[in-house]
Structure 1
Amino acid sequence: MSSFTFNTTPSIRMGAGLIDELGSLTKAICGERVLLVTDPGMIATGIVDRAINALEQASVSVIVFSDVQADPPEAVILAATEAARGMDGVIGLGGGSSIDVAKLAALLGAGNETLKDIYGVGNVKGPRLPLIAVPTTAGTGSEVTPISIVTTGASEKMGVVSPLIIPDLALLDPELTRDLPAHVTAATGVDAMVHAIEAYASASPNNNPISRALACEALRLMGAALERAVRAPHDMDARGDMLLGSLLAGQAFANSPVAAVHALAYPIGGHFKVPHGLSNALVLPHVLRFNIATSPEPYAALAPIAFPELAGLSTQKAASGFADALAALSERCGLPSGLRAVGITNEDLPLLARDAMNQTRLLVNNPRAVTQADALDIYGAAL
């Protein structure tokens, strides 16, 4: 067995209604003055009020930073950092963007590092403030990952990658995902499935048996639960399976990193403001078909775990069936099936292909090397 490293969130709490225990948990981990990082949409749901009430009942003073936006730009990170200065700890409450902002606010608000100095892998020195992550979508797995994604300039995305930004506690309450719109449930769910798939098939030297086992369990849960969660949003068993599956997939790809699906999805989100999960869904089957031509084995292994009807097929048929089944699942969940549906035309594809090549941190993990010409072909197939 090759040597590997596996890092994850030290403490994970899961259960319906756990948001009401946020105050006592926060006081034990963070102290008595915290910054709660969230977004305007979360404010409107009433979940933030519920969290504030739990904190105040435990005599925890809270300041709310609610200016997070999807694909957060550097200005949002810097504003949250200023709000975090002098705090005892930080809570990220919301989707992946809110948790990503909370991670960097906890880090930069505690010391003298600057955002521009920590982009990339392993450039964080620390220390950081104590950090709690409370996801309200079953998608990014950010509550257990060492990654925060920032939009730089007009469209490019860069990552901060370090185990130092893994939260101290992930609090998973499936009740918080119950009222998600169907299209958000679908897109974030496919995003989480992508995490598991790419972690399992990753060419990273740190691809490891723990990540692969977690990826398999994540796909087993989510393959059976996603469509139920979309069609019956108050099915709490489905919501719970999706939230747990997302976390397991997050643990998997946090240690065996993602690859070309994400690399090709980022320019779509950056240039056309398409939500990250949907960007992944749009290119997923086409990247898999590209990879299957030379590396069908990992996808054939995953196929019957997510879709039991694919059991017993040959390697090539199972792998191809896996890509087809994922595309069909996205369509049944109401997601667009092509790039044209989100305003992308054939004339836009060279720009996307060129920008995808900038995602070297991700492309190096793909089972098959991707050239700019390959990326252009994949986008063309996804059009």
Structure 2
Amino acid sequence: MVFPFRLPEVVYLGKGAVENLSQEVKKCNATRVLLITDPGVQKAGLDKQVIEAIEKGGAQVEVFAEVEAEPSTDTVDRVGQLVRENGYQLLVGLGGGSPMDVTKGASVLATNGGSIKDYVGIELIPQRGIPAILIPTTSGTGSEVTQNAIFAFKEEQVKKGIVSRYLLPKVAIVDPVLTLSCPPHITAATGVDALVHAVESFTALKATPHTDIYALEAIRLISANLRTAVSNGSDLEAREKMAMGSFFAGVSLANAGVGAVHALAYPLGGKFHVSHGVSNALLFAPVIEFNCISNLAKFARVAEAMGEPVAGKSLREAAMLAAKAVRELVADVGIPKSLRDVGVSESDIEFLTLSAEKQTRLLTNNPRLMTRQDIRNIYRKAL
């Protein structure tokens, strides 16, 4: 099959990229702008430079800085209503995946109405939203270049995804300087999240020659630089390479999709409120071990891109090194090692299994068919 390949209209990537914000605001002819961010970004003072740039672009800017970690559908609906009532013409999302996803959701709610719950699934949003510019302050989610937005459904204690070409922002601005203040634990979790995006999209059933190029380079960049970025956050070279790796992984994710790691992580985040990056990290190696036999050649390339010595080894031996490399990286950057470390017990396995089984959009893209018992076994292995 031939799959579409999409990117934002404009992408600025590299040191100083945020300096292009003013001209993009001008191009949108916007006079009223809403900046959407979170308390952590505001506390770090990263919003000040962005506000100045928006004002320099000739617009009046107001700020919504109440986005929580793992945002709920209630938050998105609230911001969407705020945008409709106040007539904002442009949205700027600043932060990690949470503010950027809320920005994307509010953008389409502004023109389509209703609740974000109405659009869960694939291509269910009727029309384009108001323009959005996304600026990440972490190197991880890739939300600035994806057609996806993930929100917590409190009643069901699970996270669900919305996928639509209308969620792609008009402009993505990726400036590694904005990630310098990102704390080590967030750098670690978001960095592993980006690596999951790269590995899952590289081995996904919807992978293409286009996405493979981005995914492999993302795996190389993240594997070589995440430890340094966590250990020494002021290392701008490591930060820049992580920003590039996250962006490339986001491009691959946006066009090839992800698989079982995400499917099993969503209920973990929904019920136990574990961050998305940590949820993915806890399930990463066990899922790779399960998936390896589905495509030994590709998983061997993953291991090689992560720096494992694959020369002289059989294809199967080389492929299995991918899981080893992931375990070592996750341990080195200080992420919890087991589900028990985040409060999960044996009695929770059945709830998690039945919830993950419903993530058919992701499981059908996984390189190996996964049964209910397979899911159950992976959770137990990760305990």
Say if 2:289 and 2:320, in contact at 8 Å, map to a contact too. Answer: yes
The aligned residue for residue 91 of structure 2 is: 90
CA pair 232-104 structure 1, distance change in 2 beyond 3 A: same
The aligned residue for residue 50 of structure 1 is: 49
1:5 and 2:41 correspond? no
TM-score by length of 1: 0.96
Say if 2:159 and 2:269, in contact at 8 Å, map to a contact too. Answer: no
Deviation at 1:165, TM superposition (A): 1.2
Gaps of 5+ in 1: none
Say if 1:20 and 1:54, in contact at 8 Å, map to a contact too. Answer: yes
CA distance in 1, matches of 2:311, 2:81: 53
The aligned residue for residue 63 of structure 2 is: 64
> Which residue among 191, 194, 197 is the counterpart of 1:195?
197
Say if 2:160 and 2:266, in contact at 8 Å, map to a contact too. Answer: no
Deviation at 1:30, TM superposition (A): 5.5
Deviation at 1:306, TM superposition (A): 2.0
Secondary structure of residue in 2 paired with 1:63: strand
Gaps of 5+ in 2: none
Secondary structure of residue in 2 paired with 1:36: strand
CA distance in 1, matches of 2:312, 2:177: 38
Deviation at 1:312, TM superposition (A): 4.3
Say if 1:30 and 1:130, in contact at 8 Å, map to a contact too. Answer: no
The aligned residue for residue 351 of structure 1 is: 351
Say if 1:30 and 1:131, in contact at 8 Å, map to a contact too. Answer: no
The aligned residue for residue 178 of structure 1 is: 180
Secondary structure of residue in 2 paired with 1:369: coil
Deviation at 1:14, TM superposition (A): 1.9
1:295 and 2:295 correspond? yes
The residue type paired with residue 64 of structure 1 is V
Deviation at 1:166, TM superposition (A): 0.2
Deviation at 1:189, TM superposition (A): 0.5
The residue type paired with residue 17 of structure 2 is L
The aligned residue for residue 116 of structure 1 is: 117
Percent identical among aligned pairs is: 40
Deviation at 1:116, TM superposition (A): 3.1
What do residues 80-134 of structure 1 show as CA deviations (whole Å, max 9, x unaligned)?
1122221111111000011000001111112445423311101111131111000
What do residues 261-315 of structure 1 show as CA deviations (whole Å, max 9, x unaligned)?
0001111111111110010000000001011244323211221112153344321
The aligned residue for residue 253 of structure 2 is: 253
CA pair 311-50 structure 1, distance change in 2 beyond 3 A: farther
Secondary structure of residue in 1 paired with 2:135: strand
After TM superposition, the runs of 4+ consecutive aligned structure 1 residues lying more than 6 A away are none
Secondary structure of residue in 2 paired with 1:310: coil
Alignment of 1:209-358 (within 5 A): 209-358=209-358
Aligned residues: 380
CA distance in 1, matches of 2:56, 2:28: 16
Alignment of 1:137-156 (within 5 A): 137-154=138-155, 155-156=157-158
The residue type paired with residue 70 of structure 1 is A
The residue type paired with residue 138 of structure 1 is S
> Which residue among 151, 167, 170 is the counterpart of 1:168?
170
Say if 2:35 and 2:63, in contact at 8 Å, map to a contact too. Answer: yes
Deviation at 1:174, TM superposition (A): 0.6
The residue type paired with residue 3 of structure 1 is V
Secondary structure of residue in 1 paired with 2:317: helix
Say if 2:212 and 2:252, in contact at 8 Å, map to a contact too. Answer: yes
1:134 and 2:144 correspond? no
Say if 2:158 and 2:269, in contact at 8 Å, map to a contact too. Answer: no
What do residues 7-38 of structure 1 show as CA deviations (whole Å, max 9, x unaligned)?
11121112323334423322223522111111
Secondary structure of residue in 2 paired with 1:34: strand
Secondary structure of residue in 2 paired with 1:160: strand
1:372 and 2:372 correspond? yes
The residue type paired with residue 107 of structure 2 is A
TM-score by length of 2: 0.96
CA distance in 1, matches of 2:308, 2:25: 41
Secondary structure of residue in 2 paired with 1:67: coil
CA distance in 2, matches of 1:312, 1:134: 44
CA distance in 1, matches of 2:182, 2:113: 38
1:100 and 2:78 correspond? no
The aligned residue for residue 18 of structure 1 is: 17
- Structural RMSD (CA): 1.4
